Amino acid sequence: MTRQEHRTTRFAVRARNIAAASLALCAALTATACSSSGDDGNDPGLPTSAAPSPTNTVSAEEAQARKAVIAAYQGMADEQVKAYTKGSLSGSKITDYATGKALRDVKDAVFVNLQNGIVSKGEPKVIASENDVELNLDSTPKKATLRLCFDQNTWTPIDKKTGKSVAPPNQVKRYTINANLENQGDRWRVTDEKADKERTC
């Protein structure tokens, strides 16, 4: 092989290696535009940086409201646990966290349990994050919706006399709840909620 042929061969191998590396980058960096060189032997174009993804900025008011919405639902759940455990709303602060249909539902449940000698043992888990809150701060009153995961595996209705569970067989114990809340005065309150037991979490 002549010296000229040796240089030509080395150049061809180098060009093929560069083209292969360029194709590998194109496959790996799906968000990046890649281009390869033609047959003229020039270096392939460098991958261009992907444009940064737009970020959702949350105002201080909105961030505080989201936390308050979750705290309101958790407060209602805590008061429910207390009332269902002792079978009474005496001394309850449920009205600090619930109003409208949500409040009526709690009162009705406590009354029915009392009539049937049922109390609860343990407590449920409310699983929610600020991303699960949708706000309408421009309405009057301000409104919010909260989608949460309700886990009652550690919360059981029992017969007060026998101490045995009266939970229905094959009961769904972990499911999604969609709650609506309003800002009333200086606090958020749950106005109504709907369990979606077909949607596990």
pLDDT in tens, 172-194: 999 999 999 999 988 999 999 99
| Average pLDDT score over residue span 49-70 | 78
If you average pLDDT over residues 110-132, what whole number do you get?
96
% of the chain exceeding 90 in pLDDT: 69
Q: What is the largest CA-CA distance in the chain?
A: 104
Is 196 a residue whose pLDDT tops 60? yes
pLDDT for the residue 185: 86
Sorted by where each starts, the structural domains of the chain and their CATH numbers stand as: 1-55 (no CATH), 61-196 (3.10.450)
Residue 188 CB: number of other CB atoms within 10 A? 25
Of residues 48 and 11, the one with the higher pLDDT is 48
Least confident stretch, 5-14, 60-69, 128-137, 175-184: 5-14
- Give the model's confidence band at 95: pLDDT under 50 very low, under 70 low, under 90 confident, else very high: very high
Query: Residue 89: pLDDT above 50?
Result: yes
State the pLDDT confidence band at 57, using cuts at 50, 70 and 90.
Answer: confident
- pLDDT tier, 37 (very low <50, low <70, confident <90, very high otherwise): very low
- How high is the pLDDT of residue 58? 81
Reply yes or no on whether the pLDDT at 46 is more than 90: no
